[in-house]
């Protein structure tokens, strides 16, 4: 009985983890950006760019790690546009994020055409002769790649960094009030640019994980709103890096259920099933507003742009 | 003149010049002669009767979507939901046509438009009520809801609504004559454009001269002061979000009925996001939205033709819109910075 249950549980767990991994990176990045008081809807575009460039470099070099690095750099580079518009020109943050998204949407569908149908070398699986045959662990390891533990480690590191280090404290201070932070000798603008770029690097990395490691293909608009989901999940996670992990797993679980229902051969519209992950995020977002204490966790400077 | 308050001639000129420069640089990057390309873009947008008809065809959904964004925008709400509301309107309007295809057009067309407005309105009501009651951010909710109704359209036309005669092509049956919006003969200029222009005029009056104009302005400026005047913020959030949704819903059914002739997955070329751009460029002023949507409609129609005849990538229209948006966001702020620097 227990063995059966474990045998059933393991594939779900690993599929959920793998599905959530790209989103974890993007949501973690957006959490950091929002903690310094900046909202970046451009994460959708940065993920998409990361997925496109990461896949291209992965295909060209045959090395998935180079692809992931290139994807991260591309996302980071694109986030500089948001930083420039918002901090340099004082543009509206929502508008700027959407402009970044539009440029990425057009740019990737143009440059991505040549990538359609290409094969990429995925990251190697973690399973080895040591873990094979162990119940649960064996199954999980056989299907997991380095991206999964890396995402978990990134969450733990950022949670620790933000809570326990002086630079982390400075970032939080900037998010609460850039003015007061500046009066106390913190370069608020420098912190904000850094946070936007770190958010872009993580979003780009997440996008590259999506195309190089998870789907192992490139398709136009393949992120399908994952970056926007990330922005919503930051709110659900109450701007706490540690909570990024569980909320992203929820999205991953929703996606996996869809795939499982489809492969189980039920007569059900794949398009209708496809709405399920978005509906889950919307419901969770609404529930978090009903049950969480009102906006208590929101960085104060963020309220000005994103009430 | 409240028509255009302090029209920023200088900023608009600089923005236009910067955009032209960026567009030229974009064509140069593609390895095409920039000036010749810009010239062809203009020719393909307004060069002959056919081009003009295409430009107006693209202008119509953009205009309606921009108004859909501007209506809640007047209260300071940032809805990005026109794309989803457009699809919701298309679903509801098509539903009426499929249920009663035989009705005479004097009955069917109004019914279809009302159903579409109700569908889009419902789709705007949801983020509205969530914002009003629970303070859920409307930007995120509308962005996520966009993906849902687009998928529902696909589910319907791949499933129960698929026309058996369409040989596997995912689309409903062709709309009967009585369900096709009247159009100027031999053009793609249809009733939707007239509705859009009338709505823009009506909204201008409503938001600038009407009974509620000043009250909404106060509420948008300061919620607490507005509520002191006995205005309900929650009511106006729901009302304006629903009204915006209804307008986008009309854009959806107009596109289905007059342009495509049937409901199918590709009814919108990202008109929702384009409408957001236009509403933003026009600062949510209905009468400014008219020329701006015509300009962007010409840009979209021109790049469409350019793609066919000059082998420019299909993504050009989106890239150019993104560049236009980024320029329009950057220029005013940079000018202000430059002025502050100069006056120091």
Percent of chain A with pLDDT over 90: 67
- Which pLDDT belongs to residue B4? 45
* A248-258 CB burial, b ≥16 within 10 A, e <16: bbbbbbbbbbb
Chain A residue closest in CA terms to B149: A275
Q: Cα–Cα distance between B253 and B92 in angstroms, integer?
A: 8
Shortest Cα–Cα distance, A166 to chain B (Å) = 31
Please answer whether residues B135 and A295 qualify as being in contact, where contact means their C-beta atoms are separated by less than 8 angstroms: yes
Of A106, A279, A306, the CB nearest to B319: A106
Of the residues B330, B331, B338, the best mutation for testing chain A's interface (the one with the most A CB atoms within 10 Å of its CB) is B330
Task: Spell out which residues of chain B touch residue A278, defining contact as CB-CB under 8 Å.
Answer: 144-145, 147-148
CA nearest neighbour of A103 among B269, B241, B319 = B319
Give A91's contacts in chain B (Cβ within 8 Å).
Answer: 329-330, 333
**pLDDT for B3 beyond 50:** no
Spell out a b/e string for A132-141, using b for 16 or more CB atoms within 10 Å of the CB, else e. Answer: eeeeeebbbb
Chain A CB contacts of B329 below 8 Å: 85, 89, 91-92, 95-96, 99
Inter-chain CB proximity B325 and A41 less than 8 Å: no
- Residues from chain A that touch B154, judged by Cβ atoms under 8 A, are 271
Whether the CB of A144 is below 8 Å from some CB of chain B: the reply is no
Residue in A95, A285, A290 nearest the CB of B280: A95
Question: Rounded to whole angstroms, how far apart are CA atoms B19 and A273?
Answer: 41
Domain range for residue B302? 51-319
User: CA torsion, points B71, A275, A252, A81, in degrees to nearest 10?
Assistant: -40
Q: Cβ contact (<8 Å) for A225 and B144?
A: yes
Residue B184 CB coordination number (10 Å): 13
Indicate yes or no: CB of B317 within 8 angstroms of CB of A106. Answer: yes
Question: Could you tell me if A207 and A49 are in contact, meaning their C-beta atoms sit under 8 angstroms apart?
Answer: yes
Q: Is the pLDDT of residue B65 over 90?
A: yes
Closest CA to B84 of B248, B238, B243: B248
pLDDT digits (tens, 9 = 90+) for A236-274: 999 999 999 999 999 999 999 998 888 887 778 889 999
The answer to whether B135 contacts A294, with C-beta atoms less than 8 Å apart, is yes
Residue B306 is predicted with a pLDDT of: 87
Residue ranges of A 148-207 with Cβ closer than 8 A to chain B: none
Among candidates A47, A17, A45, which has minimal Cα distance to A202? A47
The pLDDT value recorded for residue B129 is 97
Looking at residue A121, what is its pLDDT? 87
Distance (Å) from the C-alpha of residue B105 to the closest C-alpha of chain A?
32
Per-residue pLDDT tens digits for A121-157: 888 888 776 777 777 777 777 788 899 999 999 999 9
Asked if A102's CB is within 8 angstroms of B325's CB, the reply is: yes
Q: Is B343 on the interface with A (CB under 8 A)?
A: no
Which residues from chain B sit within 8 angstroms of residue A49, using beta carbons? none
Q: Which pLDDT does position B299 carry in this prediction?
A: 93
Looking at residues A97-111, what average pLDDT do you find? 94
Q: How confident is the model at residue A296 (pLDDT cuts 50, 70, 90)?
A: low
Q: Identify the closest residue of chain B to A226 by CA–CA distance.
A: B144
Contacts of A290 in chain B (CB under 8 A): 134
Distance CA A70, CA A200 (A): 12
B32 lies in some domain: no
Mean pLDDT calculated for residue range A277-292 = 92
Model pLDDT, residue B191: 95
List Cα–Cα distances, B81 to A150, B84, B87, B126, B317, in angstroms: 35, 5, 10, 11, 20
Task: For residues B68-83, give the mean pLDDT.
Answer: 96
Q: Is residue B109 part of a domain?
A: yes
Residues of B in contact with A221 (CB under 8 A): none
Tell whether B326 is within 8 A of chain A (Cβ): yes
Q: pLDDT (tens digit, 9 = 90+) per residue, A169-195?
A: 999 999 888 888 888 888 999 999 999
Q: Identify from B147, B270, B272, B324 which residue to disrupt to test chain A contact, counting A C-beta atoms within 10 A and taking the largest count.
A: B147
| Count of residues in chain A | 307
The band of A31, judged by pLDDT with boundaries at 50, 70 and 90, is very high
For B265-271, what is the mean pLDDT? 91
Residue A233 has pLDDT above 50, yes or no: yes
Q: Which residue has the tokens 């496809």?
A: A274
User: Which chain B residues are within 8 Å of A43, Cβ to Cβ?
Assistant: none
Q: For residue A98, give the 3-state DSSP assignment.
A: helix
How near does any CA of chain A get to the CA of B152, in Å? 6
- Mutate: best of A116, A271, A304, partner B, most B CBs <10 A: A271
Residue A286 has pLDDT above 60, yes or no: yes
Contact of A141 with chain B, judged by CB distance below 8 Å, is answered with: no
Nearest residue to B174 (alpha-carbon basis) of B57, B263, B267, B266? B263
CA dist A23 and A246 (Å) reads: 11
| C-beta atoms of A289 and B333 within 8 A | no
Domain-embedded: residue B326:
no
Residues B5-61 have pLDDT tens digits of 456 788 889 999 999 999 999 999 888 899 998 999 999 999 889 999 999 999 999
Q: A-B interface: how many C-beta pairs under 8 angstroms? A: 140
Residue of A nearest to B26 (CA): A107
Q: How far is B83 from chain A (nearest CA, A)?
A: 13
In a domain? residue B337: no
What are A189-217's pLDDT values in tens digits? Answer: 999 999 999 999 999 999 999 999 999 99
Question: How many angstroms away from the CA of B185 is the closest CA of chain A?
Answer: 34
The domain tally of chain B equals 1
**Is ipTM > 0.90 here?**
yes
Decide if B128 is inside a domain: yes
**Chain A contact set for B306 (CB, 8 A):** none
Q: Do B317 and A107 touch (CB under 8 A)?
A: no
- H/E/C letters for each residue in chain B? CCCCCCCCHHHHHHHHHHHHHHHHHHHHHCCCCHHHHHHHHHHHHHCCHHHHHHHHHHHHHHHHHHHHHHHHHCCCCCCCCHHHHHHHHHHHHHHHHHHCCCCCHHHHHHHHHHHHHHHHHHHHHHHHHHHHHHCCCHHHHHHHHHHHHHHHHHHHHHCCCCCHHHCCCCCCCCCCHHHCCCECCCCCCEHHHHHHHHHHHHHHHHHHCCCCHHHHHHHHHCHHHHHHCCCCHHHHHHHHHHHHHHHHHHHHHHHHHHHHCCCCCCCCCCHHHHHHHHHHHCCCCHHHHHHHHHHHHHHHHHHHHHHHHHCCCCCHHHHHHHHHHHHHHHHHHHHHHHHHHHCC
pLDDT tens for A48-65 read: 999 999 999 999 999 999
Q: Nearest Cβ partner of B329 from A85, A229, A286?
A: A85
Residue A180 to chain B, least CA–CA distance (Å): 22
| B23 lies in some domain | no
A100 vs B contacts (CB less than 8 Å): 322, 326
Q: Is B17 on the interface with A (CB under 8 A)?
A: no
Cβ B325–A99 below 8 Å, yes or no?
A: yes
Which residues touch B276 (CB under 8 Å, ≥6 apart)?
A98, B65, B66, B69, B80, B82
Q: Quick check: B330 and A269 CB within 8 A? A: no
Q: Which tokens go with A225?
A: 């709103």
> Which residue does chain A place closest to B274, by CA atoms?
A102
pLDDT class for A294, splitting at 50, 70, 90? low
How many Å is the Cα radius of gyration of chain A? 19
pLDDT of residue A295: 57
pLDDT tens for B286-324 read: 999 999 999 999 999 999 888 888 778 878 889 999 999
**Could you identify the residue written with the tokens 């950022």?**
A158
**Tell me: domain A2-305, CATH 1.10.3470, correct?**
yes
From CA B334, how far away is CA B330, in angstroms rounded? 6
The CATH number for B56's domain is: 1.10.3470
Token readout for A213 is 């490691």
């Amino acid at each position: 009985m227990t063995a059966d249950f474990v045998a059933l549980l393991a594939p779900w767990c690993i599929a959920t983890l793998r599905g959530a991994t790209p989103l974890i990176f993007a949501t973690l990045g957006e959490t950091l950006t929002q903690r310094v008081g900046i909202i970046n809807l451009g994460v959708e575009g940065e993920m998409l760019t990361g997925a496109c460039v990461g896949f291209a470099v992965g295909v060209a070099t045959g090395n998935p790690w180079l692809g992931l690095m290139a994807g991260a750099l591309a996302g980071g580079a694109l986030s500089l546009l948001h930083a420039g518009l918002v901090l340099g020109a004082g543009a509206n943050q929502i508008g700027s994020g959407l402009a970044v998204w539009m440029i990425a949407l057009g740019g990737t569908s143009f440059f991505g055409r040549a990538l359609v149908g290409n094969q990429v070398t995925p990251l190697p699986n973690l399973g080895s002769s040591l873990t094979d045959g162990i119940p649960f662990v064996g199954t999980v390891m056989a299907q997991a790649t380095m991206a999964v533990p890396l995402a978990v480690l990134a969450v733990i590191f950022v949670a620790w960094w933000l809570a326990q280090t002086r630079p982390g404290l400075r970032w939080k201070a900037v998010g609460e009030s850039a003015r007061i932070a500046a009066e106390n000798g913190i370069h608020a603008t420098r912190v904000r640019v850094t946070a936007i770029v770190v958010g872009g690097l993580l979003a780009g990395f997440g996008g590259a994980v999506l195309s190089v490691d998870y789907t192992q293909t490139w398709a136009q608009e393949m992120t399908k709103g994952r970056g926007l989901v990330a922005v919503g999940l930051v709110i659900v996670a109450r701007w706490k890096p540690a909570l990024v992990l569980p909320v992203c797993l929820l999205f991953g679980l929703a996606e996996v259920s869809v795939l499982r229902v489809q492969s189980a051969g039920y007569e059900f519209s794949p398009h209708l099933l496809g709405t399920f992950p978005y509906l889950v995020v919307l419901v969770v977002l609404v529930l978090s507003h009903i049950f969480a204490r009102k906006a208590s966790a929101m960085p104060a400077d963020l309220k000005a742009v994103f009430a | 003149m409240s028509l255009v308050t302090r029209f920023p001639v200088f900023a608009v000129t600089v923005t236009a010049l910067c955009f032209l420069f960026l567009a030229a640089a974009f064509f140069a990057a593609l390895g095409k002669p920039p000036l010749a390309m810009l010239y062809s873009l203009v020719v393909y947008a307004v060069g002959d009767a056919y081009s003009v008809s295409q430009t107006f065809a693209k202008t119509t959904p953009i205009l309606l979507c921009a108004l859909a964004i501007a209506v809640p925008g007047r209260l300071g709400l940032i809805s990005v939901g026109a794309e989803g509301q457009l699809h919701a309107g298309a679903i509801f309007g098509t539903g009426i046509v499929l249920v009663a295809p035989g009705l005479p057009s004097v009955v069917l067309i109004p019914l279809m438009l009302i159903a579409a407005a109700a569908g889009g309105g419902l789709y705007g009501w949801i983020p509205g009520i969530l914002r009003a009651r629970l303070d859920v951010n409307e930007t995120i909710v509308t962005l996520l809801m966009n993906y849902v109704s687009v998928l529902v359209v696909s589910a319907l036309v791949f499933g129960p609504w698929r026309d058996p005669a369409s040989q596997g092509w995912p689309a409903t049956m062709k709309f009967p004559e009585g369900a096709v919006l009247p159009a100027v003969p031999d053009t793609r200029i249809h009733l939707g454009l007239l509705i859009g222009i009338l709505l823009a005029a009506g909204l201008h009056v409503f938001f600038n001269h009407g009974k509620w104009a000043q009250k909404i302005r106060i509420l948008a400026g300061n919620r607490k002061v507005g509520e002191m005047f006995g205005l309900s913020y929650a009511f106006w959030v729901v009302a304006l979000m629903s009204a915006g949704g209804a307008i986008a819903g009309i854009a959806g059914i107009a596109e289905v009925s007059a342009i495509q002739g049937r409901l199918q997955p590709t009814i919108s070329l990202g008109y929702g996001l384009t409408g957001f751009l236009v509403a933003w460029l026009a600062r949510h002023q209905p009468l400014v939205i008219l020329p701006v949507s015509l300009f962007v409609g010409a840009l979209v129609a021109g790049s469409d033709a350019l793609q066919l005849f000059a082998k420019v990538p299909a993504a050009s229209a989106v890239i150019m819109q993104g560049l236009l948006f980024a320029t329009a966001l950057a220029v005013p702020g940079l000018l202000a910075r430059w002025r502050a620097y100069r006056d120091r």
